[in-house]
Chains A and B, each alone.
Chain A
Amino acid sequence: MLRRVRDEILEGVEKKISEVHFPAPFYAGLEYSSPARGTWNIVHTGMLIPESHQIFVCAYGCLRGVVLTAAEMNALDRYSSISIREENVLDGSMEELMVEGVSDVLEKLPYKPKAILLFISCQHFFLAYDQHLVFDQLRARFPDIRFTDCYMIPTLRKSGLTPDQKMRIQMYSFLEKKETNLKKINFIGSNLPLWKESELYTWLSSSFEVWDLYRCQTFEDYLDMAKARLNIYYEPLAQKAAQDLEQRLSIPSQYLTFSFNEEELDNNYKELSQSLDVACPDFEKEKMEARRAFQELKRVIGNTSIAIDYTFTFRPTSLARRLLEEGFNVTTLYVDVFVGDDEKDFEWIQTNYPNIKIRPTNQPGMRFIHEENEKILAIGQKAAYFEATDHFVNVAESGGYFGYRGMVEICRLMQEAYLNKKDRKNIIQKKGYGCESCIV
């Protein structure tokens, strides 16, 4: 391995938690991209709509990442490209390119998709192209195919809604108002489904039909998500999608914070039971199971150093706090930006464990960080990469491990990771944790 610790560089990028501010601990300058690829991108997410086809309209450089995402997940047959060339920028022919290009794709495809996710890029915004004209013409030409606008617009990531938030809104944009089924509820906005062993799932599925995009086998199943009486979400980026569905389809929503704190979890369940107008079960047994799981894990891993990264869970600081409260030796958090729900936990750690290290994942200096000192248990792929440890929990985007039983499972995964090594290099470079992949 050529990478090595460069102390002077590390000194420049690493901070103690007592030295940084919430929510942005680091200056945002040039960025580095580590080889850990488990988080999903917009192609992975879009593929969750059954019987849909994605068409991206952008420059070769931008197409490259999305077309190969589709290819690596063995879904190239549900993906097409239209490349923007210099003349389209100069002569204002974007609308024509899109209408004729999409038409050509649809004529070439060996199957007829029910819906098209048409992705536009940053260039479209700077050209002020006429989006209404394009979609009106496409809908007129192909009345039996539905079209929605999707966005690959990283340049606009700091202006209003982020591309991830927009994607989550558009994922449900084909839904139209339907008669409410009082027995039906949806989980929305997460790339991965809620873990079926979670007490949340067991509770809800005993009284309701629980749907999410994973359960939809057909486009009709997907459209029927509009019948739900309630949309539940725990992915913070899904808030705007939930609001959009409230506004358009009058489906109320309930946010459950993905917490590792008992009080917050209990509050989640109380609020949800009120939203559903059902009695809240007593989860004392599950709560005790979680406590015992942490104790057992502590007995096995002892004072082993633990590093956590933000790709593992939506609330890394909440997880860190819980582990610290349970007596674990959390040493490092890999976080570029903290999320809103984590502020209280951030402050608690600042006060009680001010020396915990905060490291970015995207600062240029991180290119040269590579430590192989003591045995470190990493939670998340990026932490595994930077700590150069083969003892890591390979989960991204929460894994759906919600609630007390989710914590029991996370403890099991931590113990398994502590006891057994993984093939770090091959595992973390696969894109889209949980997706099919042809990369061996």
Chain B
Amino acid sequence: MRQVVGLTSTYSSDEFGVCSALYELGGMVVMHDASGCNSTYTTHDEPRWYDQDSMIFISAISEMEAIMGDDDKFIEDLVQTANELKPRFIALVGAPIPYMMGTDFDAIAQIVEERTGIPSFGFMTNGMQYYPNGISMAMERIVDFYCTEKKETQQNTVNILGATPLDFSINGSVESIQEWLKSNGYTVNCTLAMNCSLEDIQNMSKASINLVVSTGGLKAAKLLESRFGIPYVVGVPYGKKFASKLLEKLKLKKTSLGWDRKQVKKEKHLALIGEAVTSISLACAMEEENDVSVIVLDPLNENNELYRTLDVYVPEEDDVMEQIKSVDGIIADPLYKALCSNKEFYPYAHVAFSGRIFEKDLPNLINTEMKRK
């Protein structure tokens, strides 16, 4: 049945996607919700919480404020805290109850900005969408606001778009992507949004090309293309051979997917469950170096512009169970194992699904040989 997850976990939500994308940028990010969201995000979806400063808070809205539509306390609290902590910007993040109240986040952001002089943004998340929507919303908005001026293009300079711990953990994968680019003659300009500052974002227009490493980075890439004519390539350099192919695509300086859409089913046929860009890249890397075909089952959003011929959108647990009937094995987060009892199962942890549980076991597969026996 739709919407039922009987046996396994659920993915992180859009509000946490916004928080993750903005974490390192020096802003104050406030989820407009009662309580619980903040500890959920910081416990399960934010591996940087213990060691790295950030201003992620919750408004602690109460029943009466919700029923009466009382935004005044929220505004006063935002202004007071912003005046004390002096963030670079203020981001207001929606949750289920403000969605039902019809809270006008843009209007509140405007009032707060007028009173504090600090750039403020409203994000109409509602906790009922998945995290890539939140990452996408946040990255597009922050680029739209801060990257307005065309700087002189520097050849062989790349922005990486869509990097958050929800898809890449903090296991060194993002640093490895940067190293891979550098070792191939590129200068990394801005990595949105890990090891990144607002100044980096202001200078994004210097890049000659963008590399989109998750669906969360796609909208920002499209914005940079339409505003400054910077093309983008979609893909993550997993494996040796697929990384080489991705490099060739980058060299063409044209907007493209990092993979071919046509897929051929092989005798050994596997399914990989996960976010579209990272999963298709990993599937391609496995196919390049092994005699297998790997279809991607995308439970998050319908990304038809990214899918290869055999990849499928699987919004429900039942869809996943149906699709895996016809494959020989499954590569997925370990918490999916409960659905795959009669199949070969290859665990591959995903922070956005199992949180911190398996993060210490998550391999860094960037530009790494993928040949398996």
Asked if A32 CB lies within 8 Å of chain B CBs, one says yes
Asked if B223 CB lies within 8 Å of chain A CBs, one says no
Smallest beta-carbon distance B182→chain A, Å: 25
Out of B16, B49, B96, B360, name the residue touching A35 (CB < 8 Å).
Answer: B49
CA distance A2 to B193 in the complex (A): 19
> Which residues of B sit under 8 angstroms from A37, Cβ to Cβ?
39, 43
Asked if A145 CB lies within 8 Å of chain B CBs, one says no
B60 pairs with A31, CB closer than 8 A = yes
**Cβ proximity bits A114-153 to B, threshold 8 Å, 1 near / 0 not:** 0000000111011100000000000000000000000010
Asked if B355 CB lies within 8 Å of chain A CBs, one says yes
**Cβ proximity bits B17-53 to A, threshold 8 Å, 1 near / 0 not:** 0000000000000100111111111111100011111
Out of A68, A76, A364, name the residue touching B44 (CB < 8 Å).
Answer: A68
B9 pairs with A62, CB closer than 8 A = no
Given contacts A68-B354, A121-B96, A126-B100, contact A440 B360 (CB under 8 A): yes
A101 pairs with B3, CB closer than 8 A = yes
Smallest beta-carbon distance B278→chain A, Å: 19
B6 pairs with A108, CB closer than 8 A = yes
**Beyond A31-B60, A80-B4, A157-B34, 15 extra complex contacts between A and B, CB < 8 Å:** A61-B33, A61-B95, A62-B96, A65-B40, A68-B43, A68-B355, A71-B357, A77-B338, A84-B96, A88-B3, A101-B3, A126-B101, A155-B62, A364-B55, A364-B81
Asked if B111 CB lies within 8 Å of chain A CBs, one says no
A60 pairs with B1, CB closer than 8 A = no
Number of residues from B at the complex interface, CB < 8 A: 70
Smallest beta-carbon distance A90→chain B, Å: 10
Smallest beta-carbon distance B249→chain A, Å: 33
Asked if B322 CB lies within 8 Å of chain A CBs, one says no
B96 pairs with A159, CB closer than 8 A = no
**Cβ proximity bits B352-373 to A, threshold 8 Å, 1 near / 0 not:** 0011110010000000000000
> Which residues of B sit under 8 angstroms from A64, Cβ to Cβ?
10, 12-13, 16, 40-41, 44-45, 355
Smallest beta-carbon distance B232→chain A, Å: 28
Smallest beta-carbon distance A128→chain B, Å: 11
Smallest beta-carbon distance B93→chain A, Å: 10
CA distance A65 to B45 in the complex (A): 10
Asked if B59 CB lies within 8 Å of chain A CBs, one says yes
B128 pairs with A59, CB closer than 8 A = yes
Smallest beta-carbon distance A1→chain B, Å: 7
Given contacts A59-B127, A82-B4, A104-B6, contact A30 B44 (CB under 8 A): no
A80 pairs with B50, CB closer than 8 A = no
Counting chain A CB atoms within 10 Å of each CB, which of B15, B43, B51, B354 scores highest? Answer: B43
Given contacts A37-B43, A122-B97, A367-B53, contact A9 B85 (CB under 8 A): yes
> Which residues of A sit under 8 angstroms from B155, Cβ to Cβ?
none
Can you list 8 A-B pairs with a CB-CB distance of less than 8 A? A28-B60, A62-B37, A63-B5, A72-B355, A85-B128, A100-B1, A108-B7, A159-B64
Given contacts A28-B60, A35-B43, A105-B4, contact A60 B77 (CB under 8 A): no
CA distance A365 to B81 in the complex (A): 8
A155 pairs with B57, CB closer than 8 A = no
Considering only residues 170-217 of chain A, those with a C-beta below 8 Å from chain B are none
CA distance A3 to B43 in the complex (A): 18
CA distance A77 to B77 in the complex (A): 41
CA distance A431 to B356 in the complex (A): 12
> Which residues of A sit under 8 angstroms from B43, Cβ to Cβ?
35, 37, 65, 68, 429, 431
> Which residues of A sit under 8 angstroms from B7, Cβ to Cβ?
76-77, 80, 108-109
Q: Main SS of chain B's interface residues?
A: mixed
CA distance A80 to B355 in the complex (A): 17
Considering only residues 312-363 of chain B, those with a C-beta below 8 Å from chain A are 335, 338, 354-357, 360
Out of B57, B62, B99, name the residue touching A32 (CB < 8 Å).
Answer: B57
A89 pairs with B58, CB closer than 8 A = no
Chain B's closest residue to A107 (CB) is B6
A-B contact count (CB 8 A): 208
CA distance A155 to B129 in the complex (A): 20
Residues of B within 8 A of A (CB): 1, 3-16, 30, 33-45, 49-55, 57-64, 66, 76-78, 80-81, 84-85, 95-97, 99-101, 126-130, 335, 338, 354-357, 360
Chain B's closest residue to A122 (CB) is B97
A30 pairs with B5, CB closer than 8 A = no
> Which residues of B sit under 8 angstroms from A88, Cβ to Cβ?
3
B39 pairs with A33, CB closer than 8 A = yes
> Which residues of B sit under 8 angstroms from A367, Cβ to Cβ?
53-55
Out of A84, A121, A159, A429, name the residue touching B62 (CB < 8 Å).
Answer: A159
CA distance A125 to B355 in the complex (A): 29
Given contacts A65-B40, A81-B5, contact A60 B13 (CB under 8 A): yes
B78 pairs with A30, CB closer than 8 A = yes
> Which residues of B sit under 8 angstroms from A65, Cβ to Cβ?
36-37, 39-40, 43-44
A30 pairs with B59, CB closer than 8 A = yes
Chain B's closest residue to A155 (CB) is B34
CA distance A213 to B35 in the complex (A): 27
Counting chain B CB atoms within 10 Å of each CB, which of A81, A105, A154, A155 scores highest? Answer: A155
Smallest beta-carbon distance A68→chain B, Å: 5
Asked if A340 CB lies within 8 Å of chain B CBs, one says no
A31 pairs with B58, CB closer than 8 A = yes
B9 pairs with A76, CB closer than 8 A = yes
Chain B's closest residue to A53 (CB) is B6
Chain B's closest residue to A363 (CB) is B81
Chain B's closest residue to A438 (CB) is B357
Chain B's closest residue to A4 (CB) is B53
Smallest beta-carbon distance A218→chain B, Å: 24
Asked if A299 CB lies within 8 Å of chain B CBs, one says no
A82 pairs with B3, CB closer than 8 A = yes
Smallest beta-carbon distance A332→chain B, Å: 21
Smallest beta-carbon distance A45→chain B, Å: 15
Asked if A288 CB lies within 8 Å of chain B CBs, one says no
Out of B45, B53, B61, B100, name the residue touching A368 (CB < 8 Å).
Answer: B53
CA distance A302 to B50 in the complex (A): 31
